[in-house]
Structure 1
Amino acid sequence: MRTPPLRRPVTPTAAAARRLAVAAALLALGACASPDTRPPGPPAGLTAQAGSATSVHVMWQSADPREGVTRYQILQGGAPVREVPADKTMVDLTGLAPLTAYSFTVRAEDAAGNLSAPSAAAAVTTPAAKAEDHRPPTAPATAAGHPDGARAAVLTWAPATDDTGVTAYDVYQGGVRIHTAGATETGTRLTGLQPDTVYTFTVRARDGADNSSPDSPPVDVTTATATGKGPVTSPADFTATASPGAVALSWTPPDTGKPTAEYQLYVNGQPTTVIQFGAGAVPVGRAAYQLAVSEPAGTVWALKLRARLPDGNWGSFSAERRVPLG
Structure 2
Amino acid sequence: MAPVRRTAPTLGPFLGLCLALAVLGACTAPDTEPPPAPGGLTAQPGSATTVHVMWEAAAERDGVTGYQVFEAGRLVRELPAGKTMVDITGLTPQTAYAFTVRAEDAAGNLSGTGPAASATTPAATAEDRRAPTAPAATTGRATGPRAAVVSWSAATDDTGVTAYDVYQGGVRIHTAGPGETSTTLSGLQPDTVYTFTVRARDGADNSSPDGPAVDVTTPPASGDGPGTAPAGFTATASPGTVTLTWTAPDTGRETSEYELYVNGRPTTVIQFGAGGVPSGRAEHRITVTEPAGTVWAVKLRARLPDGNWGAFSAERRVTLKA
Q: TM-score under structure 2 normalisation?
A: 0.91
> 1:20 Cα deviation (Å)?
9.3
- For 1:175-186, list aligned pairs within 5 A: 175-186=170-181
- Structure 2 residue 24 is the aligned partner of structure 1 residue 25: no
Of 236, 259, 262, which residue of structure 2 is paired with 1:267? 262
Tell me if the contact between 1:269 and 1:302 (Cα under 8 Å) persists in the aligned partners: yes
Deviations 1:67-119, CA, capped at 9 Å, x for gaps: 11111111101111111111110100000000111111111111111111112
- For 1:1-326, list aligned pairs within 5 A: 23-26=17-20, 33-227=28-222, 230-279=225-274, 282-326=277-321
Shift in alpha-carbon separation, 1:301–1:22, aligned structure 2, 3 A: farther
SS at match of 2:67: strand
* RMSD (Å) for aligned C-alpha atoms: 2.0
Query: Could you tell me which residue of structure 1 aligns to residue 9 of structure 2?
Result: none
SS at match of 2:44: strand
SS at match of 2:144: coil
Tell me if the contact between 2:254 and 2:275 (Cα under 8 Å) persists in the aligned partners: no
Q: How many residues align?
A: 309
User: Which stretches in structure 2 are left out of the alignment for 5+ residues?
Assistant: 1-12
Deviations 1:248-295, CA, capped at 9 Å, x for gaps: 111111122222222111111222222222236733211111110000
Which amino acid in structure 2 is aligned with residue 112 of structure 1? A
Structure having the higher Rg: 1
Stretch deviating more after TM superposition (258-267 or 292-301): 258-267
Give the whole-Å Cα distance in 2 for the aligned partners of 1:95 and 1:51: 12
SS at match of 1:127: coil
Give the whole-Å Cα distance in 2 for the aligned partners of 1:283 and 1:85: 45
Deviations 1:171-214, CA, capped at 9 Å, x for gaps: 11111101100000000111111111111110000000000000
Tell me if the contact between 2:254 and 2:276 (Cα under 8 Å) persists in the aligned partners: no
Which amino acid in structure 2 is aligned with residue 174 of structure 1? G
> 1:43 Cα deviation (Å)?
0.8
User: Which stretches in structure 1 are left out of the alignment for 5+ residues?
Assistant: 1-18
Give the whole-Å Cα distance in 1 for the aligned partners of 2:40 and 2:270: 44
Give the whole-Å Cα distance in 2 for the aligned partners of 1:31 and 1:263: 49
> 1:228 Cα deviation (Å)?
5.7
Give the whole-Å Cα distance in 2 for the aligned partners of 1:185 and 1:80: 30
Which amino acid in structure 2 is aligned with residue 206 of structure 1? R
SS at match of 1:148: strand
Give the whole-Å Cα distance in 1 for the aligned partners of 2:278 and 2:238: 23
> 1:323 Cα deviation (Å)?
1.0
> 1:31 Cα deviation (Å)?
7.9
Shift in alpha-carbon separation, 1:79–1:223, aligned structure 2, 3 A: same
Deviations 1:128-152, CA, capped at 9 Å, x for gaps: 0010000000000000101111111
SS at match of 2:228: coil
Tell me if the contact between 1:150 and 1:228 (Cα under 8 Å) persists in the aligned partners: no
Deviations 1:28-72, CA, capped at 9 Å, x for gaps: 787863221111111110000000000000000111221111111
Q: TM-score under structure 1 normalisation?
A: 0.90
Tell me if the contact between 2:18 and 2:27 (Cα under 8 Å) persists in the aligned partners: no
Give the whole-Å Cα distance in 1 for the aligned partners of 2:182 and 2:209: 18
Tell me if the contact between 1:261 and 1:283 (Cα under 8 Å) persists in the aligned partners: no
Query: Could you tell me which residue of structure 1 aligns to residue 7 of structure 2?
Result: none
SS at match of 1:263: strand
Q: What percent identity do the matched residue pairs reach?
A: 71
Which amino acid in structure 2 is aligned with residue 25 of structure 1? L
Give the whole-Å Cα distance in 1 for the aligned partners of 2:56 and 2:316: 29
Shift in alpha-carbon separation, 1:24–1:284, aligned structure 2, 3 A: closer
